[in-house]
């Protein structure tokens, strides 16, 4: 059985499709944050996005199950994983292809996790949501204005 916080988080990432394994690695009242705290517009595109307080292993399992319905995972690569005490950080990249449109992208990701008494009690997963949304966007452009005095532009 995994024992250090970094080993536990690595095991979580290697077993996202096994609820029974996740239940041994994640506290039943763990909090999971996916992409943001609460953004209803983003949740229309990514229904799993947002905060999942006290939802435990099921929050992570359901998130990755939904991700698997939207994209096929072509590569998931951990570039760096390290910890200090109960805190664990993971940095990497993944390549996904949307199942509906066949669009592929490679996105960086980062994870912050806390492990207490051998169980993940908190996990936050971040990625390039703008890029990921582009793989499921059918058509059209968005209009943006970033700086005061700047003209609007389309992307």
Query: pLDDT tens across 139-152, in order?
Result: 888 888 889 999 99
Q: Is the Cβ–Cβ distance between 69 and 99 less than 8 Å?
A: yes
| pTM of the full structure | 0.91
The SS3 of residue 41 is: helix
Question: Considering Cα of 100, then 58, then 14, then 34, what sign does the dihedral take?
Answer: positive
Does residue 2 surpass a pLDDT of 80?
Answer: no
Does residue 1 surpass a pLDDT of 70?
Answer: no
Q: What is the dihedral of CA 121, 126, 129, 131, to 10 degrees?
A: -140
Query: Which pLDDT score is estimated for 155?
Result: 84
Which helix (H) or strand (E) is 76 found in, with range?
strand 71-84
The SS3 of residue 94 is: strand
Query: Which pLDDT score is estimated for 15?
Result: 97
Residues 6+ positions from 115 with CB-CB distance below 8 Å: 5, 8, 9, 83, 86, 88, 121
Q: What is the dihedral of CA 123, 135, 42, 64, to 10 degrees?
A: -30
* Whole-number percent of the chain with pLDDT over 70: 99
* Whole-number percent of the chain with pLDDT over 90: 88
Query: pLDDT tens across 18-74, in order?
Result: 999 999 999 999 999 999 999 999 999 999 999 999 999 999 999 999 999 999 999
Query: Among candidates 75, 63, 102, 77, which has minimal Cα distance to 10?
Result: 77
């Amino acid at each position: 059985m995994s024992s250090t916080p970094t080993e536990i988080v690595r095991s979580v990432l290697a077993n996202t499709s096994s609820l029974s394994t996740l239940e041994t690695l994640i506290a039943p009242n763990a909090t999971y944050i996916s992409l943001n705290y609460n953004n209803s517009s983003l949740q229309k595109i990514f229904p799993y996005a947002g905060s999942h307080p006290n939802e435990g292993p099921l929050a992570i399992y359901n998130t990755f199950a939904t991700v698997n319905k939207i994209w096929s995972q072509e590569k998931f690569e951990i570039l760096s994983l390290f910890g200090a005490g109960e805190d664990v950080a993971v940095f990497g990249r993944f390549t996904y292809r949307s199942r509906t449109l066949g669009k592929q992208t490679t996105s960086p990701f980062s994870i912050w996790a806390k492990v207490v008494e051998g169980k993940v009690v908190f996990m936050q997963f971040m990625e390039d949501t703008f890029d990921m949304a582009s793989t499921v966007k059918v058509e059209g452009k968005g209009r943006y204005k970033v700086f005061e005095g700047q003209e609007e532009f389309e992307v």
